[in-house]
Amino acid sequence: MRHRTLAVLASISVFGALAHALNIAFGMTWEILWALVLGFALSAAVQAVVSKSEMTRLLPDDSARTIAIACGLGTASSSCSYAAVALARSIFRKGANFTAAMAFQFASTNLVIELGIVLALLMGWQFTLAEFVGGPIMIALLAFVFRLTLSSQRVDEARMQADRGLVGAMEGHAAMDMSVAGGAILERLTSPRGFTAISHYYVMDWASIWKDVAGGLLIAGALAAWVPNSFWQSFFLVDHPVLAKLWGPLVGPVVAMLSFVCSIGNVPLAAVLWNGGISFGGVVAFIFADLIVLPILNIYRKYYGPRVSLYLLATFYATMVVAGLAVETLFGILGLIPDQRNAKVVESTVTWNYTTILNIGFLVLSAVLVARFLRTGGPAMLRMMSGPPTEPMRHDSAKGSDPSAHVHPEPEYVCPMHSDVVSPTPGRCTKCGMDLQARDSAVEE
């Protein structure tokens, strides 16, 4: 009887702990829900007017101007880390400079609108400012280190491996380009094609990142509920202020790597770590480290080979640490580091306030965009999003015919997502709006 009572009490304790963690996760979700919808909608609108097909042409070298353009293009793209890594490889294969491609990749995940909004909402405007100050610092450091240490032989090695076309993740999402050209920006955004493009980018971004967001919120809830602040304070050397400022940027990326969570999903974790005692620069380095989490390191290995992936790990980690220390020093001098550690790691309290009103309003906006997505062929594209872009099969019409038949190539253009959409001239896919890509098909004369 006593054993049964103990078992019941243990079960109640476990369920109570789980409920506490889920309650905190839901509370954080409710706080940032409207901001996520707003951020993804703004990002989708930007992507709808910025063509991915121009990226290769705009990133030919590692000059300061090109790196600045890479940052701008990254800011205007999807915040999904996996899609950013896939797109960086794609533009590198098409001729973009490797350093510029890596700068684009970093900006695409760390200098985007939605990340800044969520950071401001959960942690404070100082962290958003730190992200947009520290990001360019890290990119500049990375470009400098690449120029000193990245040999042409290593770039050739990376290109040879990239040209093998091994599949990573979100390849189809990275290839999708429904941007609308021609006319003023407002005209393009409000046109039927613009509305469709925004809806598709919005849903695709959510589909690519929801696991990271949900995972980050659940892990943050568990850590907040189950791990006492005394552990974090000891781990982050809170009692040794000078050492803590150095230790935070060093250990922050390591914690991020082991969390497996990237993109916006690491912001709730950063909030828990900040309340627990990690330094200001440590938070910045932690957020930057979404591009060296273990799953993405494995994708680097597939994309660029083992040696180049280790080189990326070493250089990314070193520049993240230095950028975190630089932000810590700069913001400390300017007096911009918050005195209180009061990030919004809260239990759910749904009341009739501005948060609830904003959530309802932006959920309506989300429903409108999803409805447009469903009515314009979105589900078919969504099914192809995680796979590689369709590689059209070459048709050899001479096979099995008269060997004396003369064969010559003729231009043909095909959609990378819908291989059945073929045109003899350049244009747009009639199903998804993406630019048709040239291919050669053998035609019997």
Say what the pTM is: 0.79
Radius of gyration of the chain (CA): 24
pLDDT at 392: 40
pLDDT higher at 195 or 8: 195
pLDDT at 362 exceeding the cut of 60: yes
Cα–Cα distance for residue pair 89/98, rounded to 1 Å: 9
pLDDT at 17: 81
pLDDT in tens, 243-256: 999 999 999 999 99
Task: Count H helices and E strands in the chain, helices first.
Answer: 19, 3
* Phi-psi category of residue 337: left, alpha or beta, with phi > 0 → left and psi -120 to 50 → alpha: beta
Exposure string of 83-106, with b = 16+ CB inside 10 Å and e = fewer, is bbbbbbbbbbbeebbbbbbbbbbb
Identify whether the C-beta of residue 167 lies closer than 8 Å to the C-beta of residue 388. Answer: yes
pLDDT at 245: 95
pLDDT at 445 exceeding the cut of 50: no
**CB within 8 A of 85, min separation 6: which ones?**
105, 168, 169, 291, 296, 299, 300, 303
The two three-digit tokens of residue 140, written as one number: 């500049």
pLDDT at 442 exceeding the cut of 50: no
pLDDT at 355 exceeding the cut of 80: yes
pLDDT in tens, 63-106: 999 999 999 988 877 667 888 888 888 889 888 999 999 999 99
Cα–Cα distance for residue pair 45/62, rounded to 1 Å: 28
pLDDT at 212: 84
pLDDT at 170 exceeding the cut of 70: no
pLDDT at 134: 96
Identify whether the C-beta of residue 80 lies closer than 8 Å to the C-beta of residue 173. Answer: yes
Tell me the CA distances in angstroms from 368 to 36, 44, 179, 180, 191, one per residue in order: 16, 14, 20, 20, 15
Q: Where do the domains of the chain lie?
A: 16-384, 390-445
pLDDT band, residue 437 (cuts 50/70/90): confident
Over residues 396-408, the mean pLDDT reads: 40
pLDDT at 364 exceeding the cut of 70: yes
Over residues 360-389, the mean pLDDT reads: 85
pLDDT at 389: 57
pLDDT at 423 exceeding the cut of 60: yes
Cα–Cα distance for residue pair 132/382, rounded to 1 Å: 31
pLDDT in tens, 42-63: 888 888 887 766 777 888 999 9
pLDDT in tens, 279-338: 999 999 999 998 998 888 999 999 999 999 999 999 999 999 999 999 999 999 999 999
